[in-house]
Amino acid sequence: MTTDSRVADLPGHERSRYRFLVLFMLLLVYCLSYVDRQIIGILAVPIKADLQLSDTQLGLMGGFAFAIFYTGMGIPIARLADRFNRVRIITAALTLWSGFTAVCGLATGFWSLFLARLGVGVGEAGGVAPSFSIVSDYFPTEQRGRALAVLTLALPIGSAIGLFIGGVLAAEYGWRTAFIVMGLIGIAVAPVFLLVVREPVRGRLDPAPLAGAKLRPSFGDVLAHVRRKPSFWWLSIASAMASMLSYGLAFWLPAFMSRSRGLDLVQTSQFLAAITLIGGVIGIVAGGWLSDHLGRTNRAFYALIPSVAFLIGMPFLLIGVSLTSLPLIFIVLMIPQAMGVLWTGPSVSAIQHLAPASMRATASSIYLFITNLVGLGVGTLAFGAISDALTAEYGDAALRYAIIICAVVLYPLAVLFYWLASRSLTADWEGGSQPAIR
């Protein structure tokens, strides 16, 4: 347990204001992580041309190369985060992944870029679970859905920044410069984060632990705890399906717009950055608000809301990738973009409530391990491999068909698994099944 209790010593009104500064700093760091993991999507076209790569190689580099260590290192780092200073862990992680992002700009071939992306994954493994845990120690139960939704705004904001700035820098100065610049920005932010954010007292906003509960549980204790909660596993699998869609589309839509709709690099970056930002912010804010509002009376809504969102999003994506009018594509794709990220706030918030404070970072890392190993590691690769398999017959249209095939498989699976999670979520909720009405 941390010995840094400075925040707990602040007067209530100061602590109330300060927690929003903490949330902003966590959001900033999380944005940088999404910039660094998603920028490769907009740079895929010039990278493919420069390094002579196939779509399968691009998929490996954009997903699997990042995911293999991102997921593998997440659990041991989360174990440290459940015991030691989380702010310092996040600072070190930010420095590491930003450094490797800059190194990506020095790559000379597939393997050197692949290895640099491995390094980005190692660094980012230390940022997510500790951030979720810190938010849970600054915001009480009834506000966590919204607070975590604000944190997950990093997904659309960071992705949009990566698309826009990455495209502009690559067009003006080359794709290597885009990697180097974004990496150096992250390195500069790291010491500011360390100076501003204070480590909170762990579990201070949660109910008192039950008599006999371990303050420093082992990994086996955490695994045994979540093993008894079926909703944890259904949420993890559902989020993996959702991540396969979100990461796959984020990585491949820039190439789709270039190949099938004839946009240049800057046009593609501007077009998709706007869709990602507007649709993403709407979806994440709606997900956080709906889950906190409806979840006050029934915890099952934390899973039912994402299930309904994916049911709505599927037909609009299929229509969007079949249109040729850019204004219509923009309007139609806004809907699956919003529905495709709405799951993040409710899912992450629910996971935080399926384990006590002493297990929270580790439980989150198990969830993230499943979500990202499947979602990020397999999703991006699956889109690319299907595209390569169809290229001989369909040419540039192969990527469009790959997107359609993945969509008609993954959307229904996400709907199903989130619905299954909703059936046991209320009973599995930590601290009692009946929510407090406020």
For 320-377, the pLDDT digits (tens) are 999 989 999 999 999 999 999 899 889 988 988 898 877 877 888 889 888 888 887 7
Provide the token pair at 431: 């601290």
Provide the token pair at 380: 């991006």
pLDDT at 213: 53
What type of residue sits at position 117?
Answer: R
Alpha-carbon gap, residue 201 to 407, rounded angstroms: 43
pLDDT band at residue 215, thresholds of 50, 70 and 90?
low
Residue 295 half-sphere exposure, CB side, CA atoms within 13 Å?
30
Cα 200–chain centre separation: 23
Report DSSP state, residue 201. Answer: P
Picking from 42, 4, 25, the residue whose alpha carbon sits closest to that of residue 164 is 42
Average pLDDT over the chain, rounded to an integer: 84
pLDDT band at residue 293, thresholds of 50, 70 and 90?
confident
pLDDT at 214: 56
Picking from 269, 284, 282, 257, the residue whose alpha carbon sits closest to that of residue 334 is 282
pLDDT band at residue 12, thresholds of 50, 70 and 90?
low
Provide the token pair at 381: 């690769």
Alpha-carbon gap, residue 111 to 119, rounded angstroms: 12
Alpha-carbon gap, residue 233 to 423, rounded angstroms: 12
CA distances to 134, 159, 194, 321, 379 from 283, in Å: 23, 14, 31, 20, 21
pLDDT at 207: 57
Picking from 246, 250, 281, 292, the residue whose alpha carbon sits closest to that of residue 268 is 250
pLDDT band at residue 208, thresholds of 50, 70 and 90?
low
Is pLDDT of 393 > 60?
Answer: yes
Is pLDDT of 196 > 50?
Answer: yes
**Residues 159-170: tens digit of each pLDDT:** 888 888 888 888
Cα 275–chain centre separation: 17
Alpha-carbon gap, residue 353 to 141, rounded angstroms: 8
Picking from 372, 92, 251, 18, the residue whose alpha carbon sits closest to that of residue 6 is 18
**Residues 47-106: tens digit of each pLDDT:** 888 888 888 888 777 777 777 777 777 778 777 877 888 899 999 999 999 999 999 999
Is pLDDT of 379 > 50?
Answer: yes
Alpha-carbon gap, residue 378 to 248, rounded angstroms: 9
Q: What is the pTM of this model?
A: 0.76
**Residues 176-195: tens digit of each pLDDT:** 999 999 999 999 999 999 99
Judged by DSSP in three states, 137 sits in coil
Cα 41–chain centre separation: 15
pLDDT band at residue 153, thresholds of 50, 70 and 90?
confident
CA distances to 32, 127, 151, 292, 331 from 146, in Å: 21, 20, 9, 7, 26
6-20, 280-294, 308-322: range with highest mean pLDDT:
308-322
Query: Rounded to a whole number, what is the distance in angstroms from the first to the last CA of the chain?
Result: 30
Is pLDDT of 211 > 50?
Answer: no
H or E, element range at 323: none
Please list, in sequence order, all residues whose beta carbon lies within 8 angstroms of the beta carbon of residue 263, skipping any fewer than 6 positions away: 257, 271
pLDDT band at residue 288, thresholds of 50, 70 and 90?
confident
**Residues 96-152: tens digit of each pLDDT:** 999 999 999 998 888 898 888 888 888 887 877 788 788 888 887 767 767 877 887
Please list, in sequence order, all residues whose beta carbon lies within 8 angstroms of the beta carbon of residue 254, skipping any fewer than 6 positions away: 41, 42, 44, 45, 163, 268, 269, 272
Contact 306, 234 (CB under 8 A): no
Please list, in sequence order, all residues whose beta carbon lies within 8 angstroms of the beta carbon of residue 104, skipping any fewer than 6 positions away: 40, 113, 116, 117, 120, 179, 183
pLDDT band at residue 431, thresholds of 50, 70 and 90?
low
C-beta neighbour count of 41 within 10 angstroms:
27
Alpha-carbon gap, residue 139 to 145, rounded angstroms: 9
